[in-house]
Each structure stands twice: as structure tokens, then as C-alpha cells.
Amino acid sequence: MTLAATPKMSPAARQLLDQLVAESQKLNEQTEAEALIEKRQAAQERLLSQGLPTRKDEDWQYTSLIPMLSHAFEIKPAKTITLDAIQSFLPEFDTIRLTFVDGVFSEELSAGFDFIPDALSIEMADADAIQSINLDEQADAFQLMNEMLLDQGLTVSLEKGAVLSVPLHVLHVQTQPEQWVNLRTQVSLSKNSEMTFIQQFVSLEAGHSALVNDLAKVAVADDARFKQIVLQDMNLESYYFANQFFEQSSSSVVETNYVGLGGEISRHQNYLMMLGEHAESMQNSIGLGTGKQVIDSRTSTTHQAAHCDSRQLHKLVLDDQSRGVFNGMIHVVKGAQKTDGQMDNKNLLLSKTAKVDAKPQLEIYADDVKCSHGCASGQIDEQQVFYAQARGIRKADALQLITRAFLLEPLESITNLTLRNWLTDTVSRKLAKQ
């Protein structure tokens, strides 16, 4: 494979593609399964033919990858770290904890195995076992990169009628500079089962630029309930890209909350398909940007069946020269009658140089539906500040109280109070450092 057929691109972009091709070829040389090699090569061919996205591409108009291209990321062996090094990141409540260091599972840093019931299967699968995610024709560059570097992943499945008593907590720790971490996750819930799934992304040290590229698929069977928290709190020099694909069957429930606090550039995308009648979904997100951070949050929700409800609330707080992006789409197909879909995006700008670009969209082909979207951006209401000051609260404290109350609203829908308090405390500590 050569780069002769690639479109015109910058030397830095070409260097990144060269590096990815070299890493993929290393994996192919260690792989015996021809089908897997062909899959990687097919992704490579598609990526090379389309190149990396630029701001000329509509979906990347507000998220420039130029800062990322100044790095020489590579896949490195995982470092050995101690439990003390990650202790400050851990919640104080019980979980089944799976720890990955630089993308590699660490049994020594994992815990809570006594909580694993017979009905729960957890496997660190090799690439042959995690190929069920088939990329469609619209796959973006980061999905194709993930496929090129497909090597191993995490598969989780819960049997019919089982309810997980404690959350399954997957902690991803990045320890090295210029590290490329390729993640693949598959979760499957059988009929009438229930699980809370926490994914946490952290950096061990400031100043180390790592890139995490995560691709996940979640299948939720009839009457099953899947509750997810994604807490991304990597250092401000890192890069985070995630694509999540959800498939919901009849009367199932999906609740997913994304908390984006770290990363120089972060982009979190949900693709949610409501395939069975009477399914319910809730997709919320919050993002806190400072410095020159770019926080990009996206959803694509398809109502494929009748009598489904979807709710979304997305909030960004942006300070300094940070930039926020929200792009959401509710798509209602013909025949998906009695759909009820709501999507709201609200943004708070704390400086004159912070920016936000929002694009909520509806695409409806059924005639008996109730769908709405809303979007609002602005600065702190001075009357609220005055009201607080009139009651003896210092201006700085009043500003922080108002900002905190605004940002935390999407988390109020989390019914597990212990979990909600952990997230609230994490976000509040971040706000206090501003």
C-alpha cells in the first residue's frame, strides 16, 4: 500500500498516515487470521483515499486537528504503575474495576472481582473476537483508524434477567507522552437485564500528550436497562476521540451521560438506534473548557420504531479562548409514529474570547410525532450575580455558584445518588481550580 493515491494534504497529516500504516502493518505481520488482515487493509485503503478531515469538511468545520498533527504518536508497551498512583482517581463506592494502563489490561490494578455474578461475562478478547462492529460507508477517519489498529478489546455481556448489583467501572490510565491508545469495547445486555457502566479516562501526569481513539458498540435487548457514565478527565495536552453505537430493542432503556473536562481536543459522538417499540433513551452531556481547549459533543438519534421517547440535555461552560461544539440530530423514519423526541443545548460563555458553535437538527418523515429542539448561548445574568451579592455572597463566590448550578443540571437525572455525588464533586473541584 502506498500513499500515492491519497488526496492533497499537509506534510504533517501525511506523516501521521504513514505512521498509522506502519503500525497497522506491524499488527498484520503478527496476525494469522486472513479475515482480520483484510479488514484492517480495507479500512486503511478507505482512510488513504479520503485522507484526514480538515475544516473544509462540514462535520469538522469547527474542530481543527492541526494541534494534534504536531505530535508523533505511536503504540508503545504499557508502563508498570502502582495502585497508589491511581488511588486519587477512584470512587469510594463499590465497583467491579477493570484498569487499563496505556490501553493494556492490568489485573494487579483491577478489583471487585467478588462482585462479578455468574451471569456477567467479561473477556479481554483478541481482535478475532471483536470484529462484530461493521463500519458503514459514512465511517469517519477515526473509526477507520480504529479499525486499522484493531488488535484487542473488551467484551462484556449480561445474561437474561440479571441485574448487576454494583457498577462496572473501566478505568483507562494514560502514562506516556506521544502514546496512541486504540480501544474497542462491546457490551451486550440480554432481555430484562440491567447494568451501570462507568468509563473513566485519566492521565497520570500533566504535560504528556496521549491520544485515545475509542470505538464502542452497545446492544440492549428487550426490556433491558443500560446506564452509562463516561468521565473524560485527561490532561490538557491530550486528545480524545470516541464513537459509540447503541442499538435498542423493544421497551429497553438507555441512559448515557458524558462529562468532558480534559483534553486539548475532545470529540464524543453517540449514534443511537431505537429499533424496537416503546424504547426510551436519555443522552446528556456536560463540558467545561478553559485555555484553548476544544470540546466537541455530538449525537445522532434515529427513531426507527413507533412509540419511542428520547430526551437530551447538553451543556457547555467555556472560559478563556476555549471553543465548544454541539451537533445533534433526531431522525424519525417513516412509520415511527407517536415518537416523542426532545433535545436541548445550553451554553455559558465566561469570557469574550470563548466561542460555541451549535447545530441541533430534526429530520422527520412520520406525521404523528412530537419533536422539539432548542439552543441558547449567553453570559452570566448580572441580575443573578447582584441578587447573590445583595445577600452577602462575594462576587467571585456568586459567579462560581451560578456556573456550578448551570453546568451540573444534566447530572440531576442520575438516580444513583452515590454516583451522582462522585461526579458532582469531580466537576466542582475542576470548577474551583479555574
Instruction: Specify if 109 maps to a domain.
Output: yes
**Residue 257 belongs to some domain of the structure:** yes
Q: Is residue 316 part of a domain?
A: yes
Q: Does one domain contain both 387 and 407?
A: no
The verdict on 369 and 402 lying in the same domain is no
Which of 113, 222, 103, 226 minimizes the C-alpha distance to 173? 103
- 26 belongs to a structural domain: no
Checking if the pLDDT of 358 tops 60, the result is yes
pLDDT in tens, 14-46: 999 999 999 999 999 998 888 889 999 999 999
In this predicted model, what pLDDT tens digit does every residue of 184-207 receive, in sequence order? 999 999 999 999 999 999 999 998
Query: CA 41 to CA 43: how far, in whole Å?
Result: 5
Are 274 and 293 part of one and the same domain?
A: yes
Residue 8 lies in a domain: no
Whether 280 and 401 share a structural domain:
no
Instruction: Report the alpha-carbon distance of residue 182 to residue 153 in Å, rounded.
Output: 9
Domain check: are 100 and 160 in the same one? yes
Give a yes or no: residue 383 inside a domain. Answer: yes
Asked if residue 401 belongs to a domain, the reply is yes
Q: Are residues 194 and 296 in the same domain?
A: yes
Closest Cα to residue 201, out of 239, 166, 150, 227? 239
**Residue 16, φ and ψ in degrees, nearest 5:** -65, -45
Least confident of 124-138, 162-176, 224-238: 124-138
Instruction: Report the percentage of the chain scoring pLDDT > 70.
Output: 97
Count structural domains, the chain.
Answer: 2
- Which domain does 312 fall in, by range? 55-391
Report pLDDT for 36: 87
Residue 84 CA to its chain's centroid (Å): 27
108 & 128 share domain: yes
User: Do 175 and 251 belong together in one domain?
Assistant: yes
Q: Say whether pTM exceeds 0.85.
A: yes
